[in-house]
């Protein structure tokens, strides 16, 4: 949680720090639930996506920072990528993963195009590591929520550098 707080503090303007802090707390909570129960609660994934879109759009209108359109495109690209994976490999991604990816895409997209790319790539690397770890332990399924949070954190920090 400390890493998430630090990552959120790199976002500008200051009002966006609050949105990113709340969003990261919700997504970390969703990832923890996913690890324990193998499900991503809609209230946290969809709620975070809506909070991000509405609050960050308001911040953009008030300050000129960020881009609501880019955030929307980021959510569609990332969510669509994971949805495509879910449709191709039915035993892979679940719809909770699709909603989590969309929320992460919205948050990364508001920052920059680069943040979208970094979030997707870092998440895919993290997912690969999670799956390899699960398989090494003889498990067929793995909770991917933490991988999405890790990818988003990397994107936020990289954007602030």
- Contact criterion met (CB below 8 Å) for 94 and 122: no
Q: Is the pLDDT of residue 7 over 70?
A: no
pLDDT at 1: 66
pLDDT at 13: 84
Dump pLDDT digits (tens) for 65-102. Answer: 999 999 999 999 999 999 999 999 878 899 999 999 99
pLDDT at 10: 64
3 or 135, greater pLDDT: 135
Structure tokens at 95: 């719809």
Q: What is the C-alpha to C-alpha distance for residues 72 and 65, in angstroms, rounded to an integer?
A: 15
Q: What percent of the chain has pLDDT over 90?
A: 84
Write down the mean pLDDT value for the chain: 93
| Average pLDDT value for residue range 14-24 | 92
Per-residue buried b or exposed e for 19-53, using 16+ beta carbons within 10 Å of the residue's own CB: bbbbbbbbbbbbbebbeeeeebbeebbbbbbebbb
Dump pLDDT digits (tens) for 57-72. Answer: 999 999 999 999 999 9
Distances from the Cα of 43 to the Cαs of 36, 48, 118, in angstroms? 17, 8, 26
Tell which residue, 96, 129, 15, has the closest CA to residue 104: 96
Q: What is the C-alpha to C-alpha distance for residues 143 and 50, in angstroms, rounded to an integer?
A: 23
Dump pLDDT digits (tens) for 100-126. Answer: 999 999 999 999 999 999 999 999 999
The predicted model scores a pTM of 0.92
């Amino acid at each position: 949680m400390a890493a998430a707080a630090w990552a959120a503090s790199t976002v500008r303007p200051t009002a966006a720090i609050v949105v990113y802090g709340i969003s990261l707390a919700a997504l970390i909570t969703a990832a923890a639930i996913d690890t324990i129960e193998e499900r991503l609660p809609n209230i946290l994934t969809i709620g975070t996506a809506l909070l991000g879109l509405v609050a960050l759009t308001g911040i953009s209108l008030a300050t000129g920072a960020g881009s609501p359109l880019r955030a929307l495109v980021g959510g569609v690209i990332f969510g669509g990528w994971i949805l495509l994976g879910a449709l191709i490999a039915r035993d892979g991604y679940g719809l909770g993963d699709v909603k989590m990816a969309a929320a992460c895409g919205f948050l990364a997209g508001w920052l920059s195009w680069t943040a979208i790319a970094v979030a997707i790539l870092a998440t895919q690397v993290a997912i690969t590591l999670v799956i390899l770890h699960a398989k090494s332990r003889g498990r067929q399924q793995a909770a991917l929520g933490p991988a999405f949070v890790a990818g988003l954190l990397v994107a936020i920090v990289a954007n602030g550098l």
